[in-house]
Amino acid sequence: MWEVAVGNTFGATALSSYGGFWISFAIILTPGGFSIIEALTTPDGREIAFVDSFGFFVMGWFIFTTLLLLCTLRSTVAFFLLFLTLDMAFLMLGIGYLHHLLGTPYTPLVRASGAFGIVAAFLAWYNALAGIADSSNSFFVVPVAHFPWSDKGREMRQKVNNDEARGLAEV
């Protein structure tokens, strides 16, 4: 919630929303206490209604993450890749649950979702380290590439003196 205090709308939206996602995810999958899975299971033990509704739940998060992904296009490549892999994880998980066989999610897509989720986790840690390790508190700075159209990318392009480069080419 400190992102709200410092005026970072994107950070506040993303972090509080995904915090809510993990709380709701835990509520859905907690056995016994909330009985969500049991309420959506047929008397013969099939979980078709649960699998369908869970697939739609995850697809909602895919749409939300896609919107955030579009907002990262003026940031760094590493930050964009984090949201891209997270978006792919939600997409694969949602399709895996919606494309089921009598209540059993499609395993290859669910596994692919897990692989994208693991890559997203590593990228999240990389972005976190890149955000906190700077020249004031670290002996190294984590490299991040900026998109050429981003403010930082334009700033870096303006620092290049093309006249000097042309003069060297003539020599």
Quote the CA–CA distance of 84 and 92 in Å, as a whole number.
Answer: 12
Q: Which of 95, 97, 82, 115 is nearest to 29 (CA)?
A: 97
Percent of the chain scoring above 70 in pLDDT: 93
Quote the CA–CA distance of 87 and 66 in Å, as a whole number.
Answer: 6
Quote the CA–CA distance of 27 and 18 in Å, as a whole number.
Answer: 14
What is the pLDDT, as a whole number, of residue 63? 98
| Tens of pLDDT, residues 92-138 | 999 999 998 888 899 999 999 999 999 999 999 999 999 899 888 88
pTM of the predicted protein model:
0.84
Q: How many Cβ atoms sit within 10 Å of the Cβ of residue 19?
A: 11
Quote the CA–CA distance of 113 and 94 in Å, as a whole number.
Answer: 9
Say whether pLDDT at 171 is over 80. Answer: no
Say whether pLDDT at 162 is over 80. Answer: no
Average pLDDT estimate for 1-23: 92
Cα 66 to Cα 13, 87, 156, 161, distances in angstroms: 14, 6, 28, 37
Cβ burial, residue 3 (10 Å; 0-12/13-18/19+): middle
Say whether pLDDT at 5 is over 60. Answer: yes
Q: At what angle do helices 9-29 and 48-71 cross, to 10 degrees?
A: 170
